[in-house]
Amino acid sequence: MEISNNIESEYSSTVSFEHRKKYAQFFTPIEIADIMAEWLLGNNALSKVLEPAFGLGVFSRILLSKKPHLSITGYDIDDAIYEKASNAFKDSRCINLILEDYISNDNNWDEKYDGIICNPPYFKFHDYDNKCLIPKVNQKLGTRLNLHTNLYALFLLKSIHQLKRNGRCAYIVPSEFLNSDYGVNIKSYLVQSKKLRHIIVFNFKENVFDDALTTSAIILCANDEFADTIAFSHINDATGFGRIKEIVSSYPNTKYSDFTYDSKDIHADVKWKSYYAPTEVPNFKSLVPFTAYAKVMRGIATGANEYFSFNLSKARNTGIDMANMQPCICHSTDVRGLCFTPDDFNTLLNSNKNVYILNPINKQDKKLNAYISEGEKQKINQRHLTSKRIPWYSMEKRAPSPIWANVFNRNGLRFVRNETPTMNLTTFHCIYVNNNLFGVDADLLFAYLISDTAKTFFSTSGREYGNGLNKFEPNDLNKSLMLDIGSLSEAQKERLRSIYQQNKKNDDLSYICEIDSILIDNFSN
Ligand SMILES: C[S@@+](CC[C@H](N)C(=O)[O-])C[C@H]1O[C@@H](n2cnc3c(N)ncnc32)[C@H](O)[C@@H]1O
């Protein structure tokens, strides 16, 4: 019988989106479930199976259609879906459904399985009892997961622990942890357990799950003797499913996967993007850490942007002394082009964009005091960030930064040279130049940053969100490498600065080629 997602579609059309979101009920498409089931079925001894987040049992339907005498235990926490699933499987003797939280259950840790298959709930730390559950998992597994760990990681690690000899486990999870700081401890467990075999990353333009904004990865683990290698593959669109299924079924032969590495060459503390999408490693000499010449910090977090930011009309209407206003960019979309000049600031000001934030200096200002009282009436002083400040309306101290980096971007990093004393909210990161070390000033650094050569160093740094959106954290940049532009001759440094100065308002970006050719001539091996 053809297996389909009909039961999931019917459920989704009858249950409110809020209910599904509350329990993270985003169902696995058949093609993906099929690949994951294939992995479990590769264990010839497959008999005892666990589905830790059962939902409507898509994995069990596929497994039973290929191996009818399995004994499957399923957990789900939601009464409504449990009832529907129990009804769907009422004629099957193979399924034992348990209405319980898989992670809180302390008694099942030593229960071992031949196969574990799961699309776990993706809850952030504030959406579940992280303070109780994470220490418990750490104690059981000897891990050091921090309190910000997403629930899906607890599911994954617990399941890996529950594998019998030759047991196999297939999970589909968001791929973000592969490249983020909080993922390091999770990756560390995967490597140290010696059970990680293959990671298949989805690099879809559309989302894999219709209504969950996420890019995903299938994690395949096995408790067998083939611990020497770890494979990585990716799927770029639906046409790749057949190929991946073949790769999965050819295990332990990994030569068809996109990349195979010696397990000892896989390190938890690097971004795993460099394993599954190794861009051509730039073949350059004289590399230095980014922090040799600059430091990246996040912009100002006000805790209540709508209260603290001002446009010209609001500033006039409140009558607050302008000495209490600090020029500040509140939205990166207000800044177009490569450089931001005093003229650009005035254009924004005159078109009534928010270009100031409140920075109370003149406490004698009656209008300021009235505005502060109004903020207290609106309980702005009780918000998360403001409640921690003394006084609550004080602003973070930051010097205006000469270069801004866009935090979220679709096309890699975007840099802006800020030629004004304007500050920035978190919409941009601030890049501060280290004391003109070896003549590397803001113009020179900026000319380097906008080159295609610099981009190759940043391309593996960002974290992926759904829809091709990349997010860069300050440390993604601080921890990357760059060319040692301080070692260029004075004449070359001057040329780079002047290429920027002469073209800074030029819409035709072809001058960037000249920057690249200077860099390539000097640094390529
Ligand atoms: C992402 S859905 C996956 C459902 C199904 N396995 C699939 O792949 O289509 C996650 C399921 O886990 C259930 N769930 C959420 N938290 C849970 C928990 N702590 N323990 C067990 N199940 C949980 C939800 O009700 C939901 O049915």
pLDDT per residue, tens digit, the chain (525 aa), is 578 889 999 999 999 999 999 999 999 999 999 999 999 999 999 999 999 999 999 999 999 999 999 999 999 999 999 999 999 999 999 999 999 999 999 999 999 999 999 999 998 877 889 999 999 999 999 999 999 899 999 999 999 999 999 999 999 999 889 988 788 899 999 999 999 999 999 877 665 555 454 578 999 999 999 999 999 998 877 778 898 999 999 999 877 788 888 898 888 877 888 788 765 445 787 878 888 999 999 999 999 999 999 999 999 999 999 999 999 999 999 999 999 999 999 999 999 999 999 999 988 999 999 999 999 999 999 999 999 999 999 999 899 999 999 877 656 688 999 999 999 999 999 999 998 889 999 999 999 999 988 988 776 555 555 455 567 788 888 878 889 999 999 999 999 999 999 999 888 888 888 999 999 999 987
Q: Is the Cα torsion angle 176, 178, 180, 181 positive or negative in sign?
A: positive
Give me the pLDDT at residue 179, please.
84
Running DSSP on this structure, what letter comes out for residue 180? S
**Shortest CA distance to 121 belongs to which of 209, 201, 196?**
209
Cα of 62 vs centre of ligand 1, distance in Å, is 17
Element (H, E) at 517: helix 512-523
Residue nearest to atom 24 of ligand 1 (CA): 23
Mind listing the pLDDT tens digit for each residue in 427-451? 999 999 998 889 999 999 999 999 9
Give the number of residues written for the chain. Answer: 525
First to last CA, the chain: 59
Q: What's the pTM?
A: 0.62
Give distance in angstroms: CA of 25 to centre of ligand 1: 6
pLDDT of residue 1: 56
Contact call for residues 185 and 145 (beta carbons, < 8 A):
yes
Name the residue ranges covered by the structural domains of the chain: 6-276, 291-523
Provide the pLDDT for residue 213: 41
The answer to whether the beta carbons of residues 198 and 233 sit under 8 Å apart is yes
Q: Report strand pairing: 415-418 vs 403-406.
A: antiparallel
**232 CA distance to ligand 1 middle (Å):** 26
CA distance 163 to 159: 7
Tell me which residues have their CB closer than 6 angstroms to ligand 1.
23-28, 53-55, 58, 75-78, 81, 101-103, 119, 121
CATH architecture of the domain 6-276 equals 3-Layer(aba) Sandwich (3.40)
Q: Measure the CA–CA gap between 72 and 60, rounded to whole angstroms.
A: 7
Look at phi and psi of residue 416 and say left if phi exceeds 0, alpha if psi is from -120 to 50, else beta: beta
